[in-house]
Structure 1
Amino acid sequence: MRSHSRSRRSFKAAATTTAAAAALALALSSCSSAGGEGDADAEGALNSVNVIAPADPGGGWDQTARTLSQTLTGEGLVGSAPVTNIGGAGGTVGLASLATETDPYTLMVTGAVMVGAVETNASDVRIEDTTPIAKLTEEALVIVVPADSEFQTAQDLVDAIVADGQAVTVTGGSAGGIDHILAGLLLTESGVESSEVPGLLNYIPNSGGGEAVTMLLGNNAMAGISGVAEFSEHVASGDLRALAVSSPERVDMLPDAPTLIESDIDIELTNWRGVIAPGDITDEERAALEDVVAQAQQSEAWQSALADNGWADAYLAGEEFEALLADDIATTQETLKSIGLLE
């Protein structure tokens, strides 16, 4: 029997870029620049930035990118902040695009999902090749089922997967991402050997939160895992039921959902999101981006958006953010191995 001590970790994920994906990334990179070249004035203050959401519309990365863009422009911090969606491969298509970006004033949303996807798909471009700007938020994950599901608790779901294996379908974000990691940890915490997890777990990845909701509401998946903000509306409407959240404490947006700890499953896991920039920018360009993101984070508009989306303020910048990234990459590699998703 294997068990995992409770874990307060942030994971990231991305995926291998094929030649076709790389070509698409190059094309989309050109489109993103055409949306508005970022620039700064003589004193180094930014006039505009480009914001990339490395996923399709509707998910957490898209929500974060658009909230940041609206804050930057709404607070008058920049004149424009166009958002471009470059989805696919757990964020690594977007990561490939960032690697070829010629506009230094470009911010791409990253986070726990991207680190894992980089590892599971052996991405040619890695987060270490970019310039870290800031960590922005943390968010609990929630395990949900359709309203009429037979599963009443998270343990019911785990027991069904152990008993019926691939017959139980679970949907969530990208393969190797934090949703997938939580699904694997549920099994290993219940005593499943890591080598058995891939054969038991029928995990259906999606590139955006909207796709997971569609699958669940269409009864094409029996359970889903994602950030609280992505499922809370559908839980409130009664279309989905929340079995448990992965945070240390219950969350305000889903007050009736127990934590996994309360459910006697010894796991704590939170997702984080932040922003990175192209890897070859100058110190002055990096400082300008760090400054404008810091101003956005301190604004009332951003703080209000955190509350509205159920995101915890987890701002971290500079060397502290770089250290967090290095630690998360190492921790993610270890965890993916421990649940059988990485050799």
Structure 2
Amino acid sequence: MRRDTFLKSLGALALVGGLPMAARASANLKMMIPANPGGGWDSTGRAIGKALQDAGLAASVQFENKGGAAGAIGLAQFVNASKGDPNALMVMGAVMLGGLITGKPPVDLKQATPIARLTSEYNVFVLPASSPFKTMKDVVDQMKKDPGSVKWGGGSRGSTEHIAAAMIARDVGVDAAKINYVAFRGGGEAVAAILGGNVTVGGSGFSEFDEYIASGKMRAIAVTSAERLSGTTIPTLKEQGINVEIGNWRGVYAAPGISAEQQKALTDLVTQMFKSKPWVDAMALNKWTPAFMAGPDFAKFVDAEFASLRDVMTKAGMVS
């Protein structure tokens, strides 16, 4: 089913009252956002909280940002401080898996409880408006001459934009270990660095750069999807002769040590939220692609994704 058709179907379901009111509508939830304000996890976490409240599924949602190490610092705090708490949730996604692979921290995602995958989004690479470069070919040509002279700016080490940059280098014949990648703790820092010309090229989810692209402050030069994003003219890497495609998904986990019944209640809650009109509207606004998956299927997906990312990152020279 096409993304726009899917969103319209969900919206219609919500409008005709097809969603039962949650038994946990009085819940006071806590949302761990393992990143600084301004990035994809922050916008996703706050959109989840708002949708839960607007749909009458939660009385309140308290947010906490704890950035660093591709989410590992926030994950560690979540695991240690929220054990057994049935009202605690944490935003996570592909970036966290990449960070765990590269950083090898003592904390493990398996210590938390999987709930659901919600969205998928592709990365966009942009140049500051003042850049002397105009296209991805310009960037690649400079990288071939001097890999270190091209500063790639984006999320933490192991983020999908970091992996994509390494894959681009590898595909065009540059040693991926020589790329100059500048990691930022949050989307706000990355945007400031790009707008200030402190990095050569920046990468992130389309929703994080959309307003700057539209205003002309950033020039979009490539997207990591197989086809151009709907409603945009941004060329894919593949149509520019670079055989790289990689997506970025996001989801939620619950605290460690909760019961099977509590896990099911949270899964049902997030499932109802996903079908609600407030969340359908949030996905449309942010141009997120719906990618819902819950229960054992989601847990298996995370395990498979971890193995797949580790293989890609090893081949790209990012881990040994």
Q: TM-score, normalised by structure 1?
A: 0.84
Equivalent in 185, 201, 205 of residue 227 of structure 1: 205
Q: Cα distance, 1:221 vs. partner? A: 0.7
Runs (5+) with no aligned partner, structure 1: 1-42
Residue type of the partner of 2:255?
P
1:269-308 superposed matches below 5 A = 269-308=246-285
Equivalent in 164, 182, 198 of residue 182 of structure 1: 164
Secondary structure class of the residue paired with 2:237 = coil
1:91 pairs with 2:71: yes
1:163-242 superposed matches below 5 A = 163-192=145-174, 196-199=175-178, 201-242=179-220
Equivalent in 224, 238, 247 of residue 246 of structure 1: 224
Q: Equivalents in 2 of 1:236, 1:44: separation in Å?
A: 40
Q: CA RMSD in A?
A: 1.3
Instruction: Tell me the residue number matched to 1:57.
Output: 37
Count of residues in correspondence between the two structures:
296
Percent identity of paired positions between Structure 1 and Structure 2: 41
Instruction: Tell me the residue number matched to 1:7.
Output: none
Instruction: Tell me the residue number matched to 1:77.
Output: 57
Equivalent in 115, 137, 149 of residue 133 of structure 1: 115
Question: Does structure 1 conserve the Cα–Cα contact (< 8 Å) formed by 2:221 and 2:235?
Answer: yes
Question: Does structure 1 conserve the Cα–Cα contact (< 8 Å) formed by 2:27 and 2:87?
Answer: no
Q: Equivalents in 1 of 2:94, 2:137: separation in Å?
A: 25
Secondary structure class of the residue paired with 1:301 = helix
> 1:57-105 CA distances to partner (integer Å, 9 max, x unpaired)?
0000000000000000111101111111111111001110111114232
Question: Does structure 2 conserve the Cα–Cα contact (< 8 Å) formed by 1:56 and 1:207?
Answer: yes
> 1:113-133 CA distances to partner (integer Å, 9 max, x unpaired)?
000101111111111221110
Q: Equivalents in 2 of 1:67, 1:237: separation in Å?
A: 24
Residue type of the partner of 1:303?
V
Q: Equivalents in 2 of 1:241, 1:46: separation in Å?
A: 45
Q: Cα distance, 1:49 vs. partner? A: 1.4
Q: Cα distance, 1:45 vs. partner? A: 6.6
Q: Equivalents in 1 of 2:245, 2:78: separation in Å?
A: 32
Question: Does structure 1 conserve the Cα–Cα contact (< 8 Å) formed by 2:130 and 2:197?
Answer: no
Equivalent in 103, 116, 128 of residue 98 of structure 2: 116
Question: Does structure 1 conserve the Cα–Cα contact (< 8 Å) formed by 2:131 and 2:197?
Answer: no
Secondary structure class of the residue paired with 2:98 = helix
Residue type of the partner of 1:63?
S
Secondary structure class of the residue paired with 2:60 = coil
Question: Does structure 2 conserve the Cα–Cα contact (< 8 Å) formed by 1:120 and 1:342?
Answer: yes
> 1:295-337 CA distances to partner (integer Å, 9 max, x unpaired)?
1000111111111101000000011101110101101111111
Instruction: Tell me the residue number matched to 1:341.
Output: 318
> 1:211-257 CA distances to partner (integer Å, 9 max, x unpaired)?
1111111111111011001111101010100001111221136x121
Secondary structure class of the residue paired with 1:157 = helix
Instruction: Tell me the residue number matched to 2:3.
Output: none
Q: Equivalents in 2 of 1:308, 1:45: separation in Å?
A: 25
Q: Cα distance, 1:264 vs. partner? A: 1.5
Q: Equivalents in 2 of 1:90, 1:54: separation in Å?
A: 8
Q: Cα distance, 1:44 vs. partner? A: 6.5
Q: Equivalents in 2 of 1:206, 1:240: separation in Å?
A: 18
Q: TM-score, normalised by structure 2?
A: 0.90
Residue type of the partner of 1:218?
G
Residue type of the partner of 1:333?
R
Question: Does structure 1 conserve the Cα–Cα contact (< 8 Å) formed by 2:115 and 2:298?
Answer: yes
Residue type of the partner of 2:144?
V
Residue type of the partner of 1:107?
L
Q: Equivalents in 2 of 1:177, 1:76: separation in Å?
A: 34
Secondary structure class of the residue paired with 1:84 = strand
1:134-153 superposed matches below 5 A = 134-153=116-135
